[in-house]
Structure 1
Amino acid sequence: MPTLLRVDSSPLYGASVSRQLTETFEATWKATHPGGQVIVRDLTATVMWPITAEWVGAAFTPEDQRNAEQVELLKLSDSLIAELEKADEFVFGVPMHNFGVPASLKLWIDQVVRVGKTFSYGEGGPKGLLAGKKATFLIATGGVYDAGTAMASLNFVEPYLRSVFGFIGVTDTTFLTAGGTAALRYGKDRATFLQPHLEAVQLHAQSA
């Protein structure tokens, strides 16, 4: 039975463009995969803290040597990684915040990019341990940062996510961006703006 992990990081909920895109992806994916399972992780509703020296110490302590406090420190990380391991495919809703990813998504990344769990070190250097999975990133940006535009150099979302997920072995990635969402604050019709983006998401989800 195929499993999809849906991860949302926008704090805007009903007003969020990226959440509307992931909702559409999920609905289309379900229709295409009868009996498939969906795991939903809402990062805005997940309490996460920046990693600490104690967390790092726990992560580098062999599992059979961790004390109760270290086990507790890694509990959330273990749960988030288990979701990644269980899923065959991921879809992420990512609004651009200050040219990068939201703080909640960065905190999540710090919890799941973990030696011995999602990557390892060997004689040939680091090796991603989540190979064979694929990820779709549905990005919403206030401005337009497409390649070739004046603002393209300020888009740190796609290169960062491509690098991070490639590092943990997820190289089958697709990026779909709804650029120019700021126009919605100045009267542009939401349905008209979203229509081509929703259609692109549906088309991709059908083939995913």
Structure 2
Amino acid sequence: MTTLLHIDASARPGRSGIDPHGSHTRRLSARFVERWHAARPADRIDHLDVGQSPPAHVTGPWIHAAFTPAAAREPWMHEVLAESDRLVDQLIAADLIVVGLPMYNFGVPAQFKAYIDNIVRVGRTFGFDRARGEVPYWPLLADAGKRLVLLGSRGDFGYGRGQRIAHLNHTEASVRSVFGYIGIREVHEVAVEYDEFGGEQLARSLAEADLAVDRLVGKLSAHSDQLLMENA
């Protein structure tokens, strides 16, 4: 059984095509999850909506607690890290992470950045040891076989790799860097563009993204089936 972690980061609560002013990324992530469930109904699906219920931001006490060895933490430290621990546990339990990730001002939403800051944890998702010399850091999730799907939306167009304004895209690129740092390096991306243009350009981009999501579900679910057969 595969565990899918579905994360929505959009501040918009609805889905485009259904709700007025709905989110394109919620549309894509819901489409992915619905088709995944249809193909693999026995799989577990967890939903985390950081767009509507963002995690707490990192504070001084949080940093103090996170960098204190677990055995030496005081009770208040465990309380400060409780939400972060739950998010890390959820991530570790997931085989496939599907994120509805809109671009806000060329980067990730603040709500999702708060999530990232809570799950990049020394001793839990990355290791650190000064005795290792010039490379004291290492990923702790590198051998877990996790896969990441980023389903994005952008107001302009041409943000894809090698395109005209790819250099302004600090959304998917930053997420790939962060998740690669903790060991999740298989990343798949689909994005809607032309949101600010509307009309036929947006409609075409949405249709192309919907089809790309469907193809990606087929590809990744087939891979999960293959792994299941190999481990049977």
Q: Same fold (TM over 0.5)?
A: yes
How many residues align? The count is 206
TM-score, with length taken from structure 2? 0.84
Secondary structure of the residue aligned to 1:39 is strand
Distance 2:183 2:109 in 1: 22
Q: Distance in 2 between matches of 1:139 and 1:28?
A: 18
Partner of 2:2: 2
2:151 aligned residue: 138
Task: Name the residue aligned to 1:129.
Answer: 140
Give, in angstroms, the shift of residue 47 of structure 1. Answer: 4.2
What residue in structure 1 maps to residue 169 of structure 2? 155
Retained in 1: the 8 A contact 2:194–2:201?
no
Supply the RMSD in Å over aligned alpha carbons: 1.6
Structure possessing the higher relative contact order (Cα contacts under 8 Å, 6 or more residues apart): 1
Tell me if structure 1 keeps the 8 A contact 2:54–2:111. Answer: no
Of 177, 181, 193, 1:179 maps to: 193
> Structure 1 residues 109, 96: CA separation in 2 closer, same or farther (over 3 Å shift)?
same
Instruction: Give a deviation string over 1:89-142, Cα, whole Å, max 9, x none.
Output: 100010000000000000000000010010002424321112220101011001
Q: Gaps spanning 5+ residues in structure 1: where?
A: none
Counterpart amino acid of 1:134? Answer: R
Structure 2 Cα separation of the partners of residues 152 and 88 of structure 1: 29
| CA distance in 2 between partners of 1:65 and 1:147 (Å) | 45
TM-score between the two structures when normalised by the length of structure 1: 0.93
Partner secondary structure for residue 13 of structure 1? coil
For 2:125 and 2:75, locate their aligned partners in 1 and report how far apart those are by CA, in whole Å.
Answer: 23
Post-superposition shift, 1:66?
1.6
